[in-house]
Structure 1
Amino acid sequence: MRVLVTGHQGYLGTVMVPVLRANGHQVVGLDIGYFADCVLGSFPGDPPGVVVDLRDVTVEQLRGFDAVIHLAALSNDPLGALAPEITYDINHHASVRLARLAKEAGVRRFLYASTCSVYGAAGDELVTEDAPLRPITPYAESKVRVEDDVAALADDDFSPVFLRNATAFGFSPRLRADIVLNNLVGYAVLTGEVRVLSDGTPWRPLVHAGDIAWAFATCLTAPEAAIHCRAFNIGTEQNNLTVAEIAEAVVAAVPDSTLVITGESGPDPRSYRVDFTAARQAIGFRAWWSVPAGATQLYQEYVSRGLTSAEFFHRFTRLPHLERLRDTGVLDASMRRTGSVSDPATRF
């Protein structure tokens, strides 16, 4: 298949593109490049791609593709709280517009990266795709709105599918340090402490970036009837863990580290355990990476690639990185480039 991947220069896209290519697909990327240079260690490079703001995509840029995998988003709850209007502009309005243009361009399959955080404060019971959606943050709310609006576009010629990913973890050359397992391992490597700011009791479902890539690859070629206008939770029940349990896995993976639960941020209302049966039954997808294995992978990669505190706390943490681009004039207040794409002054 000929596949367009938005956000191919992000944390997930950088892992997903090689998986798609290994499965024989022709991949083209589409990305504004916010994180193109946020690479830890060596990286083999990107597929051919289009440099464009998601809000400015044209129908002509979407013609000739069999499928669109839509990953691009402002993926950070603190950023969403800081600028919710921009989060809705990019994550909601631009995403729905992309789906409409894809349908107009003749794209048959539209794979959307949603999130299990749409379940919000769900308690201790396992939630399925039919559970009530209770998004707490602007980021999660934007995902719910996209699912609703894109589902309305489905017809015999346009099949959207919504992959509600659990919280991602695992190494990517374009690292994210602001997601729970990646953060706890990095902090332990750099300081010797596994520091939990909440009380450690909230439930979190986790899934490895590589498993997410395989889920999307599976949906690309699954029978249309199996995926048409459906939502799938992506992850595995074995990775439904409390934040304290996640932290304990990090202590086991990082030599000489100690666990510190400060509780300074108070109780976190986001707590949910997720049922992943539907994806196993409908498309045969299984996630294989465990949290302990992911913690070990992250520890080994951080050490071998020489992760530094400056990189960890600034370059690979979404909010300070984007604030730096804005404060230095590379981006304006609406998160748009301040010059043309070809202008060297606007490079990231």
Structure 2
Amino acid sequence: MNSELNEDHPQLSALTAFLYAVLVVYLGGWYLDKWTGNFALLLFLMSVVTFFYWIAERWYFLPRREAAARALVEQDAQRRAKLSAEGIKVDHADIEGARRAVLRQPWWLDWTAGLFPVIVLVFGLRSFLFEPFRIPSGSMVPTLLVGDLILVNKFHYGVRLPVINKKIWDNQPVRRGDVMVFRFPEDPRMDYIKRVVGLPGDVVSWRNQTLSINGQEVKTDALGPYFDQDSLRERPRYRESLGERPHDMLVNRSLPLHFRMDTANGPFPHAENCQYGLDGVTCTVPAGHYFMLGDNRDNSRDSRFWGFVPDANIVGKAVFIWMNLGDPKRIGGFD
């Protein structure tokens, strides 16, 4: 009976196989860097597709299998009663096993409707509560290292609708010193992580390898050398008092300055708010935007090069290192 239900819907079986083939191709191309994936959109589409399978299973396919199972049990009971009345010894057929076989989901429902609760739970948690990220580069050394697996608080700055990233409810304001994940302004399909340095209206200056905000130099204390695993050399380390809690950063103040506005894609939005010189750059942060720097100041492509991060691009606040496979001791919070 179960095989008959599968044969009754070969189109759905073929459609499910096709959808899984598309998923494998999409994930494979993403893994091989053939294109940039959008995990939020992927989870949304998977939630929608599996939802329709779940509805079909709950209101159509499952009732049909249950009716078939009841009919099978009733037919067996009638057969046994008839044989007993005729004085014929009744066999011991495994009716319970046959009933379970009839109730069993076909594979294309098991791998769609059966996964719907899990997929929608992951989608909800990732969209509104916490999202995991992996640190891919050394731009936030020494705060975050390559390979750190971090959790990002998605509701700290407010609740946003997934996929379209429309804020529907405000929460905490963005503060100087926050480590923020955001969609890269030049390519919103990519997520970046940097430290918030400038708020709307701030005048941020990075000149002579020194940070100033609104005309006041940000206090730093030398901490001695830091061995950089990426470059395999020692780097000058400082404790910077930018926000409510100080943090460590790396900068070699004896290095010559050779950076300028990154104009590969043309001037960035509000580029007129920045003045570049031989000693650095000074920018006035426009309304609804933020100025971001990496803690590895000599090795970070950030707002000094590509401009400001609009509020609409905010993903969330990085709050916790939940794993580093190469160094489990790094698990915990960070400044």
TM > 0.5 fold call: no
- TM-score with structure 1 setting the length: 0.24
Question: Which structure has more helix as a fraction of its residues?
Answer: 1
Question: Which structure has more strand as a fraction of its residues?
Answer: 2
Max Rg structure = 2
